[in-house]
Structure 1
Amino acid sequence: MLATRIRRWKSVALATTAVLVGITAPTLTASPAAATTTAYDSTYYKNAVGKTGTSLKSSLHTIISANVSKISYSAVWNALKVTDQDPNNSSNVILLYSGVSRSKSLNGGDVGDWNREHVWAKSHGDFGEVTGPGTDLHHLRPADVTVNSIRGNKDFDNGGSTVSGGGGSLTDSDSFEPRDADKGDVARMILYMAVRYDGGDGFADLEPNEKVNNGSNPYIGKLSVLKQWNDEDPPSAFEEKRNQTIYDTYQHNRNPFIDHPEWVEAIW
């Protein structure tokens, strides 16, 4: 069952009045993600509800790390055909960054194919394709081979030039900006990884920071931008269904920031 979500967004005055009187309207920014309730608050999240800061982060780490089923990297191919299935065409998957619907059969490494994108880049933590962070479906998504190559292991930030075939994504020498419809997804995947992998399981302690060009360090930036994207692009029905499928069918853990996007601000 999908979580029942209640959101309260601030209402803001539109620029119409300002235009009529010849005044330049101020730039509007997204309100912080509002408090939510889910069907899992009294069960799965019961030890996290009501907490903030490091206490919340620690509780969530324990919750999402317990009794997790792991899959091999080769098994990720078929899993993504289920988790990212196009709701309007069961023969296709929806590609991250570009938003393109592409045949499930076109998985591979050639131009025109889709492959397995590690949203938390493999080199940012040196976990490669190992079972665990290298195969965690909560940050693995199908992406166009060429667009995936352009993103590479760049950090996330605003700005840059248009990515060809990227659905409105932008890039420069040290950062990548997804199209608007994927910004919140990317933020919540990155922050899931930061909570799930804290250095206690033999892998690097993954953390977001305020830098780009992190290279091979176990960090990804920019945290302030990721928080903004989380607020601007709330979880969609597609993202929520994906979270549920991973929980029910594959790993049996959840991305808490899809269920409770306001927990991003509560921790960071």
Structure 2
Amino acid sequence: MPAPRVRRWKPLALTAAVLAGITVPATATATASPTTAPAPLAVGAYDDTYYKDALGKTGPALKSALHTIVSDQTKLSYDQVWDALKTTDQDPANSANVILLYTGTSRAKSASGGDQGDWNREHVWAKSHGDFGTATGPGTDIHHLRPEDVTVNSIRGNKDFDNGGGAVAGAPGNLTDGDSFEPRDAVKGDVARMILYMAVRYDGESGFPDLEPNDKVDNGSAPAIGRLSVLKQWNDEDPPDAFEKNRNQVIFDKYQHNRNPFIDHPEWVEEVW
């Protein structure tokens, strides 16, 4: 594989938040002075409730606490995933459509299926990495299931994530080669946080595989996916935007009733890994 490239990009415009119906707090401004104390870190909306047992922890202790928290969820069937994605990934500008993960295009909700031109259910943590298929649990967890064009989904296949490769036909900004896939810049962080959520949520209990990220590609059917170093880079460079935050909230409120902690606290990625 070629050496990872470092990219920088600007956060998505706040208009996406308005379209998604999300209130974005105004940023306070003040004249700096030598005696001004640093502003305190923002406290998450769920820190004193949902995440209270994770606060103050780091490393394995934080991962264990987050696993316990997010494992309390309502599970969906694979058929129920179709309808769920029509809500979680609804186009903020057109309620009849969903936004596709890799292409970023808006497509009719009614165009779900398996034919060319349809969208289907992309397992961001490829289901063959751990051989969990579409069984209720990791195979139906909508924190890592996203709508995607059938052809582009097939091109991604079960490849690991890494930088580099050639352009993906029909999906500008995405790259791929024989053993890896690089998503477009605007969803690199989304992909990373979905993968790392899965590694926290599924740790070998209840008959499910112990999913773990590693720093390799071509993992095959092992319950592992890479590259961790690149995923961490993507998490840093593409922070959660309004669409991703809204999606997390909809999953929590309407479907699984659990959250992706790395959307609420992206800094926890470095604390765990």
- Tell me how far 1:37 sits from its aligned partner: 2.3
Could you say which residue in structure 2 is the equivalent of 1:45?
51
- Supply the AA of the counterpart residue of 1:222: R
- Supply the AA of the counterpart residue of 1:37: V
Could you say which residue in structure 1 is the equivalent of 2:193?
188
Q: State the SS of the aligned residue for 2:252.
A: helix
Q: Conserved in 1, the CA contact under 8 Å of 2:22 and 2:242?
A: no
Question: Cα deviations across residues 171-203 of structure 1 (Å, max 9, x unaligned)?
Answer: 000000000001000000000000000002211
- Supply the AA of the counterpart residue of 2:181: F
Q: Closer, same or farther in 2 for the Cα pair 1:166/1:110, shift >3 Å?
A: same
Q: In the alignment, does 2:159 pair up with 1:140? A: no
- Tell me how far 1:167 sits from its aligned partner: 2.8
CA distance in 1, matches of 2:257, 2:24: 19
Q: In the alignment, does 2:65 pair up with 1:59? A: yes
- Tell me how far 1:6 sits from its aligned partner: 11
- Tell me how far 1:254 sits from its aligned partner: 0.1
Q: Closer, same or farther in 2 for the Cα pair 1:218/1:3, shift >3 Å?
A: farther
Q: Conserved in 1, the CA contact under 8 Å of 2:130 and 2:223?
A: yes
- Supply the AA of the counterpart residue of 2:45: A
Q: Closer, same or farther in 2 for the Cα pair 1:157/1:6, shift >3 Å?
A: farther
- Supply the AA of the counterpart residue of 2:146: R
- 1:105-120 map, 5 Å: 105-120=110-125
Could you say which residue in structure 2 is the equivalent of 1:102?
107
Q: State the SS of the aligned residue for 1:91.
A: strand
- Tell me how far 1:3 sits from its aligned partner: 9.7
Could you say which residue in structure 2 is the equivalent of 1:83?
88
Could you say which residue in structure 2 is the equivalent of 1:213?
218
Question: Cα deviations across residues 179-228 of structure 1 (Å, max 9, x unaligned)?
Answer: 00010000000000000000022111000001000000000000000000
Could you say which residue in structure 2 is the equivalent of 1:29?
none
Structure 1 stretches lacking a partner, 5+ long: 8-33
CA distance in 2, matches of 1:5, 1:207: 35
Q: When the two structures are aligned, how many residues end up with a matched partner?
A: 241
Tell me the TM-score normalized by structure 2: 0.85
Q: State the SS of the aligned residue for 1:80.
A: helix
Q: Closer, same or farther in 2 for the Cα pair 1:52/1:208, shift >3 Å?
A: same
Structure 2 stretches lacking a partner, 5+ long: 1-20, 28-39
Q: Percent identity?
A: 74
Q: Conserved in 2, the CA contact under 8 Å of 1:184 and 1:230?
A: yes
Q: In the alignment, does 2:161 pair up with 1:168? A: no
Could you say which residue in structure 2 is the equivalent of 1:155?
160
Q: State the SS of the aligned residue for 1:105.
A: helix
CA distance in 1, matches of 2:41, 2:171: 32
- Tell me how far 1:44 sits from its aligned partner: 0.2
- Tell me how far 1:165 sits from its aligned partner: 1.2
Q: Closer, same or farther in 2 for the Cα pair 1:114/1:96, shift >3 Å?
A: same
- Tell me how far 1:38 sits from its aligned partner: 1.1
Q: State the SS of the aligned residue for 2:213.
A: strand
CA distance in 2, matches of 1:172, 1:199: 31
CA distance in 1, matches of 2:80, 2:23: 27
Tell me the TM-score normalized by structure 1: 0.87
Question: Cα deviations across residues 118-173 of structure 1 (Å, max 9, x unaligned)?
Answer: 00000001110000000000000000000000000000000000001113100000
